[in-house]
Structure formats: structure tokens, C-alpha cells
Amino acid sequence: HHDFTTLTNSKLQKSFVQHFLINLTFIPIYCTSINYHICFTSIFYIHYTHFLHSSIHRIQLQPLKMEGFQISYERIQRMAKFVEVIMGCKPRIGIICGAGMLPIFDIVESRNEIKYSQIPGFPAADVGPQGNAFVYGNIACIPVIIQTDRFMFYEGYTLDVITLSVKLFYLLGATELIVLTSAFSINPSYKPGDVMIMKDQLNMVGLCGSNPLRGPNDERFGDRCPSMIDCFERAVYKHARRSAEELGWGCKIHTGVYASISGPTTTTAAEANMLRMFGVDAVGMTSVHEVIAGRHCDMAVCGLALVTAMARLDYGRYREPTAGGMAAVVAENVAPLQDLLVKIVQFMGVKRVCKCINKGDLEGRKSRKSTIRS
């Protein structure tokens, strides 16, 4: 259970090669034997074993680390206390989006930002100058905090880093979570520029074993096996649908199932058709892990996916989407998304949506959460 990859150190390789080549001069002597190949193998084994034993004391052994929960509760709590001092208040809603969607949040009042580099121990994302910061302020008089660029699974970040912001929001006092993402349409009736309100999700990465809750569970965040039934609060996505219709979105608003793949490659036609058979309407490379972490922390979650391109469903002519084309779709829909976001924030901020069966259960849950946070 130790990492021996340090054996590939260039100095050790050079040392072994020099040590072994010295003994190659003895090979012709043994070649006269019928079993010369056995002798050659024996020489290699003897000298490699001698080299390994003589060099093992120089190798620093590093125990393997478990993937889940490498970032401890205490470490995130220290980050939360630092951010809270700067903010001067507790946010009610946490929002996660990509750097490309940052213009949507021009509606934030009393806007300020905290760079990732300012927060002790917080990792930095590999993005442009627009990212690497939390934006905080008010939307419709509701205090919010926004992660302007998420950590991507295909960039090599572990799942505990990808979901770090959700846990940070939770320890800051946020009880609601909104995730925004761009997506490829699997449903043929969806067009670029349409918005899908997530009613369910398909975690393709999780089905292959990569779940953000894998590893030791810290009950200060949530239960060992949280239920993902109704992972998106029904009252929220139904209100979002009604609000979009009131704003005149018409056929540009949908309620559907979002699937996440690991990326960075997009889906093939075969993969897209498989997802369609599974009931998926849109596919992307983000959000599902954040949703799982949010539900683990008992946060009410709302998900919005802006369709920026169509997935390929057949083998006919297909116009490959470009980064510029998808960015143009986002730019064209900034104002409508701002109006919809205000409606959602107002609803989630005024009324804490909870799936509790009765008031007693609600009070018990609030008591447990307040005890944990204190």
C-alpha cells in the first residue's frame, strides 16, 4: 500500500543502468552454456536485486491517499470564518456557474469579490482573469455568494475539490444552492438559446464509481447515504417554470433531465443516442457532483442548463459547435436569464423549501443543523 513510483527517479535509473552495464561483459562467458538465456536472466535478477536493496534506503515512501474527503471539515471551517469576516454577513443562497456566465451576475447589488488566492488553503482554478474569485452581494435584497468559475473533473481536480465551494457555502450559512451550466441538447425539440430547468439528473461519472461522497463520511455535513430522490426541489423548479412563462419565454423554457459526463470530449452519436434512450434531455460536464454535495448538506437545490449547442444524434451532416458560437449564445441570453434568476432567488430566499413531512421533523432538522454549525 505504498507508492513506489519514486523508483523511476532519473538518478536511480542512471545508477542502475551503469551498475548493470558493467556486468554485460560477463555475458559471452555464459553464452557457451546451452542454458545461456537462463544465465542471462539470473544475472539480471541478481544485480537488480542488489541494486534495489542498496538503494531502497534512499526511497521516500508515501502512503496512498483516499480520494474522498481529503479536505477536512476543520479546514473548510477556517476558510468559512475567513470569508464571513470579509463579507460581514451570512449568505442565504450559494450559486455556482462557469466563467462564461459571469455577465449574468451584473445584477448583483453591493457587489464585491474575494479572490481564491486570498482564502487560506483554497485551491486556484486554471482559468482566465474573469474567474478565480467569489462574488458576493445581494440579488433582490437576498444575500448571495457566487463561485465565478467551478473546478472541472477533466482538469484533474479531485471530487472533494470540485465540491469544496458547496461545503464552504453550507458552513457560511447558505441553505439553498443554485447551479448554472451550459449544455448540449439531446432532446431534438431543444434549440440553442433554450433553458432547461433540471428536474432530475443522471450521474454517468458516479455510475462508474466516482462519487463525491466516496470515502469516510463526516456527519457534520450530512448522513452517510443521503437520498437523491427529488434532488431538485419540486416547488423550486415548478416556480421557475411558471416564472419563465410569465416572462414570455414560451417554447424556450423546458423541464428535463440533465446528464453529466467526465469530459473533456463531447459525446459521440452513439453515446448521445444511449443517453436519449435513458431519458436524458441535455448533457454537460458539470453540476451533478455539486448537486450531490448540496443534498448531502440538506440544501434546497435548483439547476439551470442553458443549451448552447446540439449533440450529434445521427451520422448525417453536422456543424461542429465552436467556442465562439457557444459564447455568443450565452451573450444573447444574459438579460432573460437575469430576469429568471431574480424570480428564483426571490422565491428561494423568502421561503425555505423543505421536504419534511411535518413541522416536528422540520424543527428537529433545524435544531440538528444549528448544533452542528455551532
What CATH number is associated with residue 141?
A: 3.40.50.1580
Residues 43 and 131 occupy one common structural domain: no
Tell me the pLDDT tens digit for each residue of 336-350.
999 999 999 999 987
DSSP E strands in 186-243: the ranges are: 195-203
Proportion of the chain above pLDDT 70, given as a percent: 73
User: Which residues are within 8 A (CB) of 51 and not within 5 positions of it... i.e. 6 or more apart?
Assistant: 15, 16, 19, 20
Residues 57 and 120 occupy one common structural domain: no
The CA-CA-CA angle for residues 239, 304, 265, to 5°, reads 160
Please state, in angstroms and rounded to a whole number, the distance separating the CA atoms of residues 208 and 289.
Answer: 13
Is-contact 153 284, C-beta < 8 A?
A: no
**Looking at the 3D structure of the chain, how many domains does it have?**
2
Tell me the pLDDT tens digit for each residue of 261-276.
998 999 999 999 999 9
Residues 85 and 189 occupy one common structural domain: yes
Q: Specify the pLDDT at position 28.
A: 44
Asked if the structure places residue 68 within a domain, the reply is no
Residues 51 and 78 occupy one common structural domain: no
Asked if the structure places residue 219 within a domain, the reply is yes
Residue range(s) defining the domain that contains residue 28: 2-63
- The label of the residue with cell 457555502 reads 169
Q: Specify the pLDDT at position 126.
A: 61
Mean pLDDT, to the nearest integer, of 151-179?
95
Residues 219 and 352 occupy one common structural domain: yes
Residues 42 and 108 occupy one common structural domain: no
Residues 306 and 335 occupy one common structural domain: yes
Tell me the pLDDT tens digit for each residue of 108-141.
999 999 999 999 989 876 655 456 899 999 999 9
pTM value > 0.85 = no
Residues 98 and 230 occupy one common structural domain: yes
Tell me the pLDDT tens digit for each residue of 1-58.
344 333 334 444 444 444 444 444 444 433 444 444 444 444 444 444 444 444 434 4
Residues 58 and 81 occupy one common structural domain: no
Residues 101 and 22 occupy one common structural domain: no
Question: Angle, to 10 degrees, between the axis of helix 334-350 and the axis of helix 323-332?
Answer: 60
CB atoms within 10 A of CB 271: 18
